[in-house]
Amino acid sequence: MNHPSLHVRRATVEDLPALKNLWTNAHFPADELESRLTEFQVVESHGEFSGALGVQVIAQHALLHSEDYVDFSIADPARELFWERIQKLVSNLGVFRIWTQETSPFWTHWGFHPASTEVMEALPEAWKTRPGNWLTLELKNEEAINQAIGGQFAGFMNAEKQQTARIAEQGRKLRMFLTVLFFGLALVGFAIFFYLLFHRHPLPHP
């Protein structure tokens, strides 16, 4: 859906005053979030700052956090634009799973669901101290990808072992050939030496 009056972009230093005011009013840790400015996307309505959403990425996991708006009447249209931008961002960063503690029905409408106990084991350690319930959305099957990569790696290692064994066998044969050649040449040399030693003619007397 198009929302011509809304525009989403990455936060800049110029947004800090409006962001800090937004965070303070929402009782977010403004000082901490200020140091993480680069995580934030902001939405403008008719060219005016109207809200923000944080996206923190750790390894193959992304966290949507600290969402708030100056005017909540634009919240869902803004979320649609945020979501379009977030999908491109996490795709470029190779994210497998997105997490959030935001409670808007918008996120469950787009596929987020409560994280099971088993899924919670994948939550990055840095986020496990956050109180509250978690919603999550799997973008790619991390286990299947890791298994595929592991299979490819095992195949690569097996091929490397086979190649190493072939090289070692070739080296062994070459050493054996050189050893036989050396002894053969040595025997020929000794044979020539003894032949000359026992068959040389005495020098004539003057």
In a 10 Å sphere around its CB, with 0-12 CB exposed, 13-18 middle and 19+ buried, how is residue 138 labelled? middle
Q: What is the CATH number for 131? A: 3.40.630.30
Q: Tell whether 51 and 133 lie within a shared domain.
A: yes
Q: Is residue 58 part of a domain?
A: yes
Q: What is the pLDDT of residues 71-119, one digit of tens each?
A: 999 999 999 999 999 999 999 999 999 999 999 999 999 999 999 999 9
Q: What is the pLDDT of residues 124-156, one digit of tens each?
A: 999 999 999 999 999 987 554 455 445 454 455
pTM (2 d.p.): 0.69
Q: Which of 140, 172, 188 is the last residue of a domain?
A: 140
> How far is it, in rounded angstroms, from Cα 141 to Cα 96?
7
Q: Tell whether 11 and 100 lie within a shared domain.
A: yes
Q: Tell whether 107 and 157 lie within a shared domain.
A: no
> How far is it, in rounded angstroms, from Cα 81 to Cα 165?
57
Q: Tell whether 102 and 191 lie within a shared domain.
A: no
